[in-house]
Amino acid sequence: MIEKRLNDLRAQIHRAERLYGRHENAVSLLAVSKTKPAEAIAAAYQAGQRHFGENYVQEAISKQQLLGAFDMTWHFIGPIQSNKTKLIARHFAWVHSVDSVKIAHRLSGQRPQNLPPLNICLQVNISDESSKSGIALDELPDIYRQITALPNIRVRGVMAIPAPADDFAEQRLPYKALMQAVAALGQPRLDTFSFGMSGDLEAAIAEGATIVRIGTALFGTRGQSIA
């Protein structure tokens, strides 16, 4: 079942790439594996998936230990607590949810010297929701400037989780605003735009996403068979 779902998702991504004039393979699938068992992640790996996203630090580290024989790339995509930054800096290749200079400083200082720079995305609260973490859009230029000066981390781009919308045109609007803000930074080296989930994948790809984060559509709901 996971292999079929993965193939269906890849086909959906490729159709959207063609429809909206994106280059083939411009968009990568990040499998959101939080709360999913190690055997489901292994099944996705065996079907060709290599990048996995986790929200909970201790759960992720346990899975990394169980799946250590596989060449997987681990992304941290959840809210970051200050007391977890050392573990995140040591155990992940990517962090999508950096939302303050303070957190970036901690990740920079705690990244082991024997590891390559930590790839990070700045999480932007694009819909200005009080219930969500993220940098306000008008604060992005100043925070970006401060964080890019730090060692041991590399700012690759931005991440966003906009307010839900059912209308396709409405789904596109926050992403369009975010991409305009990124363009205003004048930094062509930014190459990673982590937005789009199961419900708005096509809108995200239309507006320039390079990573879409998919969980339930790949792994199913909790308790659902992974066979």
Domain of 44: which CATH number?
3.20.20.10
At a CB cut-off of 8 Å and minimum separation 6, what does 71 contact?
Answer: 50
Taking the model in full, what pTM does it have?
0.95
Q: How many CB atoms lie within 10 A of CB 160?
A: 27
Determine the pLDDT at residue 226. 52
Determine the pLDDT at residue 72. 98
Boundaries of domain holding 71: 2-219
CB 221 within 8 A of CB 186: no
| CA–CA gap between residue 32 and residue 93 (Å, rounded) | 15
With a cut of 70, list the residues of the chain below it in pLDDT. Answer: 222-227
Determine the pLDDT at residue 131. 77
Determine the pLDDT at residue 37. 96
Q: Is residue 95 part of a domain?
A: yes
Q: Is residue 127 part of a domain?
A: yes
Q: Is residue 29 part of a domain?
A: yes
Q: Is residue 59 part of a domain?
A: yes
Determine the pLDDT at residue 225. 46
Handedness of CA 102, 108, 112, 115 (dihedral sign): positive
Q: How many domains does the chain have?
A: 1
DSSP state, residue 139 = G
